[in-house]
Structure 1
Amino acid sequence: MRSDYIFTSESVSEGHPDKVADQISDAVVDLFLSKDPEARIACETLTTTNKVVLAGEIRCKGVYEDGTWAEGALDEIERTVRETVKRIGYEQSGFHWQTFDFSNNLHGQSAHIAMGVDETGNKDEGAGDQGIMFGYATDETPGFMPATLYYSHKILEQMAADRHSGAAPFLEPDAKSQVTLQYQGGVPVRATALVVSTQHSPSLSNEAGQQQLRDYVKGVFAKILPEGWLPADESIYVNPTGLFEIGGPDGDAGLTGRKIIVDTYGGAAPHGGGAFSGKDPTKVDRSAAYVARYLAKNVVAAGLAKRCTIQLSYAIGVAEPLSLYVDTHGTGTVDEAQLEKLLPTLVRLTPKGIREHLKLNKPIYQKTAAYGHFGRDAEGDLFTWERTDLVDQLKAAI
């Protein structure tokens, strides 16, 4: 394992067009789960200039049954979508929460999928699809996340907070960040390059305005990064292509699920390929990736490794995982095979077992859809997969 290297991760803001799509899809998931905890949702969103399109399959008691929408359901879905865009902050001529054209193409779930997935008689609930899912944790940040992604998220979260509060009224919702760090002895020690591209108001479209924006972003970097980590000015890039007035869905189409590396570990760990947003927790793309993170984080938090990657695999309609793989990257204090035997005794890794252990059948997903699904603070029902409540059991069993 290399100990001296340079590594980069990126993040995107809540106003990035793909993230707008993710947040809309998860707002729809939350809406249906609030009506029926056993709802089935696979909601995809397309955003473009003054347009939002929903597509996908659903099943929800009291909302959509036997091919029929309940009275008022379509209006509630549209209202949820518009409120999501309003919360993000889009009131632009090319994309405005009140005036964009809305198209709802959601329809009933395939009966054949339901047959394989639903729990019936002696048959346990099966996985909603086949696939591989990964979880990862590292001790290089307090949230057990890769530092490059951790700081990329924090930079954009600060900028969004300043935009919403009015502290930086010249900012518009669309933004991207990128953090490059130097590692020595496997530990991040400083930034070698920092990048932010952010949409801004026309008031900054002159030389003085661009300098004001640069000074503001440099101040955010100084606030977020540890003292002494800032690189030289020539390695700080703020809107390197120039002006950025037209952004969001008006500047580029957005689709659910196109930012899966931003959603997970910033490239520091494998990704199975499946997106999270827009899917109810019977879909193991989402729930199994959450439990894999949960297990990996608890392994590292228990001091059993400095880094841990966990892979799970499933077959559609089959309850038990086909495989469980643990890799501690040469940093472990116990044998990985021992962990592979121990972890399934702490959490039942069937779709239903995961949902029950992490309490996933609740409207908790819209908050996951910007600034990462991992490395967040567990609060009540939110981000339960970030808890470290297995640490004592792990230590006792080793």
Structure 2
Amino acid sequence: MARQTYLFTSESVSEGHPDKVSDQISDAIVDLFLSKDPYARIACETLTTTNTVVVAGEIRCKGVFEEEAGWADGALEEIESTVRATVKRIGYEQSGFHWQTLAFTNKLHGQSAHIARGVDEAANKDEGAGDQGIMFGYATDETPGFMPATLYYSHKILERMAADRHSGAAPFLEPDAKSQVTLQYENGVPVRATALVVSTQHSADCSNEEGQARLRDYVKGVFAETLPKGWLPADEAIYVNPTGLFEIGGPDGDAGLTGRKIIVDTYGGAAPHGGGAFSGKDPTKVDRSAAYVSRYLAKNVVAAGLAKRCTIQLSYAIGVAEPLSVYVDLHGTGADGVSEDALEALLPRLVRLTPKGIREHLQLNAPIYQKSAAYGHFGREPEGGFFTWEKLDLVDALKAAF
């Protein structure tokens, strides 16, 4: 039987963390290409470091880049403009990383013909998966967003701080920040925080004793307003910039790369991860689309009351359309009459789990991805075509089946 009383910890990072800057740039490129061609192929990696951004990868996009014609007029300038606009939106106007003055290098090139042959749709068959791999989805009823509470509150803390920074309510904050939340679970339910950590980049105004006290009081206030009433730990278990000053941050303080925050992006360590990153990939890549549909299915199972927790795994082979396996684990929390093997048979009948079937069901061939590249891909509100994998439109069908 699973443990019922324990401590568990998850972390999050802000939109200004160097790895998240890279993720957002990569997904801005994905959105740019999909806005031109809904069937574009993109695998875009981004490196950020001191006043430098480099993008690289494989692409194919009508009207932007085609193998025979090369780059369309104005395409290279539009890519660079998209990169700079992303950095500006995040808020980097520092001497070591500034949206206007950073050096930009574009190393994007055409998609491999060998990969394209294996994954393109043919007249007599569905397209194959863009790569082999395993993907996991997870949901739990412990928060309103059906997410692990440790990660849910880690994200919420940094989202609040970013909102205050952008609005001017906390002008001493700079973009780079990390949070960490440790919760006490009793009878499998989170009941209180036992430790809270925030490390945040700040302006020179906070680089003295008075400024550090003001920063600490501000962050403690965010904790109090974000966590449920009565959850705050003792003052000695609250850590704000525990190493001291944090003026130099972002890509100037540490290099960033796309795809290095996959646990932050998913479930905070509370569920398995297949290992593949999401950002920078178009939805034919099952690293992304199959992870999204796995979350979608798991969330609907829990929302339908069929279980309190649900993990789903899908596996694929490159060039093969249908998944090689579908696995469901209810962690011993299934409702009466609900079994994993029955769900394994039912779920592929509710959603066709080929790359094309997933994309069509979740409407993924659209420029909807940059919003997902900070504060988690899951547990978000579906609206306006964004976060379609968070919808609960399978609940009635799942209830009816049991």
Q: Does 1:267 align with 2:269?
A: yes
Match of 2:65 in 1: 64
Find the aligned partners of 1:117 and 1:380 in 2 and give their Cα distance. Answer: 29
Find the aligned partners of 1:210 and 1:192 in 2 and give their Cα distance. Answer: 23
Match of 1:185 in 2: 187
For 1:1-398, what aligned pairs fall within 5 Å after superposition? 1-67=2-68, 68-333=70-335, 334-398=338-402
Deviations 1:114-148, CA, capped at 9 Å, x for gaps: 00000012121000000000000000000000000
Find the aligned partners of 1:87 and 1:94 in 2 and give their Cα distance. Answer: 17
Deviations 1:124-175, CA, capped at 9 Å, x for gaps: 1000000000000000000000000000000000000000000000000000
- Identity score, percent: 86
Deviations 1:79-132, CA, capped at 9 Å, x for gaps: 000000000000000000000000000000000000000001212100000000
Find the aligned partners of 1:2 and 1:386 in 2 and give their Cα distance. Answer: 28
List structure 1 runs of 4+ shifted beyond 2 angstroms.
none
When normalised by structure 1's length, the TM-score is 1.00
Aligned residue type for 2:296: Y
Find the aligned partners of 1:132 and 1:200 in 2 and give their Cα distance. Answer: 40
- Taking only aligned residues, the RMSD between alpha carbons, in angstroms, comes to 0.4
Deviations 1:177-232, CA, capped at 9 Å, x for gaps: 00000000110000000000000001100001000000000000000000000000
Find the aligned partners of 1:335 and 1:65 in 2 and give their Cα distance. Answer: 49
**Shift of residue 66, structure 1, vs aligned partner:** 2.1
Deviations 1:23-65, CA, capped at 9 Å, x for gaps: 0000000000000000000000000000000000000001101
Contact 2:46 2:56 in 1 (8 A): yes
Find the aligned partners of 2:243 and 2:294 in 1 and give their Cα distance. Answer: 39
**Shift of residue 397, structure 1, vs aligned partner:** 1.1
Aligned residue type for 2:37: D
Contact 2:60 2:67 in 1 (8 A): no
Deviations 1:1-33, CA, capped at 9 Å, x for gaps: 111110000000000000000000000000000
Aligned residue type for 2:13: V
Aligned residue type for 1:151: Y
**Any idea what SS the aligned residue of 2:88 has?**
helix
Find the aligned partners of 1:397 and 1:146 in 2 and give their Cα distance. Answer: 27
Aligned residue type for 2:282: D
Aligned residue type for 2:320: V
Find the aligned partners of 1:65 and 1:149 in 2 and give their Cα distance. Answer: 41
Aligned residue type for 2:32: L
Aligned residue type for 1:291: V
Find the aligned partners of 1:385 and 1:332 in 2 and give their Cα distance. Answer: 22
Find the aligned partners of 1:39 and 1:31 in 2 and give their Cα distance. Answer: 10
**Shift of residue 388, structure 1, vs aligned partner:** 0.5
Aligned residue type for 1:201: S
Contact 2:48 2:54 in 1 (8 A): yes
Find the aligned partners of 1:356 and 1:127 in 2 and give their Cα distance. Answer: 14
Aligned residue type for 1:225: L
